[in-house]
Amino acid sequence: MSHDLAPLPGPDFTPAIQAILDRYYPNRDGEVLSLFRVFARSPRLLKKLGAAGLLDADSPLTLRQREMVILRTTANNDCEYEWGVHVKVFAGAAGFSDAQIRATRRGAPRQEDWNPEERLLLQAVDQLHAMGHLDEPTGKRFAAGWSTEQQLEILALCGFYKTVSLIANTASLPPESWAVRFPAW
Q: Which domains does the chain have, with CATH numbers?
A: 15-48 (no CATH), 63-170 (1.20.1290.10)
- Report the pLDDT value the prediction gives residue 184, as an integer from 0 to 100: 84
Sign of CA dihedral 36, 49, 59, 169: negative
Average pLDDT over residues 148-171: 96
SS3 state of residue 28? strand
Model confidence pLDDT, tens digit, residues 92-149: 999 999 999 999 998 777 888 899 999 999 999 999 999 999 999 999 999 999 999 9
What DSSP character marks residue 11?
S
d(CA 120, CA 4): 40
Which residues neighbour 116 within 8 Å (Cβ) at sequence distance 6 or greater?
none
pLDDT in the model for residue 4? 86
Mean pLDDT, residues 6-10 taken together: 88
How confident is the model over 21-39, as pLDDT tens digits? 888 887 777 788 999 999 9
pTM comes to 0.93
Q: Mean pLDDT for the chain? A: 91
Q: What's the pLDDT at 185?
A: 66
Give the per-residue pLDDT at 53. 67
DSSP-based three-state secondary structure for 31: strand
